[in-house]
Amino acid sequence: MPVDKANRRFMVLSDMHFGTQDSSINNAQFRESLIDHMVSHAPWEEIIFTGDLLDLNLSTFTRAIEGGTWQDSNVPLFGFRQFIQELDTRMRKLSPDKVLKHLAHKWIYMPGNHDYKIWDILSSKMICDDVLASGKEMGTIPTPVMSGKWVGEESFFAGIFRPFSAHNQVIVEYPNHEIDFIGEKMVLTHGHYLDATQTRLNNLSDIFSKTNSPEEIRKARRRIFIETAQYQTAANAVSFTMDVRGFVNVIAGPDAVVYKIKKLFNRIGTLFLSLLFPRESKKVKRLSYKQLKNIGYYLEQFCSYPKLPKWFIFGHTHHQYRQKRRDLGIEVYNAGSCYTDQDIPITFIEIETDNKGLPIVKLMCIDQNGCVRTTDV
């Protein structure tokens, strides 16, 4: 499809957390409103999941994908496979010649911190399984691998879409997805690298503001990626067993003693900034000053974009909002989540290009009455 075309339409869903009982996707009223909206506005050029789609930290693969009734869950869980099945069913009801593959041209999925295991499996396969299967020596692919992209059958995730003949439309990539609008980029990611609690207290702004040479930046990027991977792998390894997760967190996670000391200094610094810049203190309630500052460092130093994108969309915080980084010339958006925030059960983003081919970003929600509407953010 031409990239500079009017009426290109995209849907961004973040932090759906399939497998957890607190996700609003388990509520039939809210879920059906979302599904009806997706089907009635088809076709989409891309439906994009920006991380924490399958919650593999607080749940398991089986619960997140298959759903079902479990003794330790207060509500029946609605699985991701059921979600895809229901979308296909609604498409068929809409028109006898329409099925799931007609809903979107592409399905994009970027793992976040709660589904980091997806990235871990796919990247490990790339650097180990595939190398050994080809007869090559280990180390053929330099590590750590910091980005990856799997199209269609290259990822096991596509198998969920195979019964509906949509598997070749699936793309799994990490950590970012890019969309081009008339030569300008929109970058979408989950956002956990902006959150120091997910990177073992490696605040991007603290680290990259002190690095100057390309070699120093390269080493810092490598260390941050490795330490983030170590923490996320530890969190994944203990699955949703809360007592074990707590033990690991005390030893190596953000609540370890050494990190509590760092947190104290970070909080003092944030308080000091809010006193100096009272307008900024309001932003802290939605996205901390540190995290907002980290966006520029994430794009410039961590991801090494030679030219900054004009639009940046992420999730992770479960709080939908928009913000203009005027110093960087970037429009920042948070897609929201399927966790209730300020009495709104589901929040998401829609993007449609105008007659010039530039994106119009709309913050959307499913409200308590099950109505789909724009949000006043």
Q: Is the pLDDT of residue 288 over 60?
A: yes
Using 50, 70 and 90 to split pLDDT, how confident is the model at 236? confident
Kindly state whether residue 109 falls inside one of the protein's structural domains.
Answer: yes
Identify which of 71, 57, 51, 48 has the alpha carbon closest to the alpha carbon of residue 20: 57
More confident residue, 238 or 193: 193
pLDDT recorded at residue 240: 61
Using alpha carbons, list the distances in angstroms from residue 371 to 35, 112, 273, 338, 339: 12, 28, 40, 15, 16
Residues 162, 168 contacting (CB under 8 angstroms):
no
Asked whether residue 4 is domain-assigned, the answer is: no
CA dihedral 10, 15, 16, 18 (to 10 degrees): 140
Banded pLDDT at 7 (limits 50, 70, 90): confident
Residue 121: pLDDT over 90: yes
- What gap in Å lies between CA 38 and CA 41, rounded to an integer? 6
Q: Is the pLDDT of residue 127 over 70?
A: yes
pLDDT tens digits along 17-54: 999 999 999 999 999 999 999 999 999 999 999 999 99
What gap in Å lies between CA 313 and CA 300, rounded to an integer? 16
pLDDT tens for each residue of 154-209: 999 999 999 999 999 999 999 999 999 999 999 999 999 999 999 999 999 999 99
Return the residue matching tokens 């180990």. 128
pLDDT of residue 45: 98
Query: What is the rounded average pLDDT of the residues 205-219?
Result: 94
Checking if the pLDDT of 84 tops 50, the result is: yes
pLDDT over 70 (residue 329): yes
Buried b / exposed e along 296-321 (16+ C-beta atoms within 10 A): bbbbbbbbeeeebbbbbbbbbbbbbb
Average pLDDT over residues 309-331: 94
Q: What is the mean pLDDT of residues 48-64?
A: 96
CB 195 within 8 A of CB 263: no
Count Cβ neighbours within 10 Å for each residue of 170-184 and write b for 16 or more, e otherwise.
bbbbbbbbebebeee
CA distance 41 to 276: 47
Is 194 part of any domain? Answer: yes
- How many Cα neighbours within 13 Å face the side chain of 105? 8
331 touches 361 (CB < 8 A): yes
Q: Residue 279 is which amino acid?
A: R
Number of domains in the chain: 1
Any domain includes 158: yes
Question: Residues 324-334: what's their mean pLDDT?
Answer: 93
Contact 293, 271 (CB under 8 A): no
Query: Which residue range is the domain that position 24 belongs to?
Result: 9-374
The answer to whether position 310 is within a domain reads yes
Tell me, yes or no, whether 3 lies in a domain.
Answer: no
Residue 321 lies in a domain: yes
Claim: this prediction has a pTM higher than 0.75: yes
- The domain spanning residue 248 has which CATH number? 3.60.21.10
For the CA atoms of 58, 337, 52, 269, the dihedral, rounded to the nearest 10 degrees, stands at -90
Report residue 314: phi and psi, to 5°: -145, 180
The pLDDT of residue 287: 65
Q: Is residue 1 part of a domain?
A: no
pLDDT at 3: 44
**Predicted local confidence at residue 345, as pLDDT:** 98
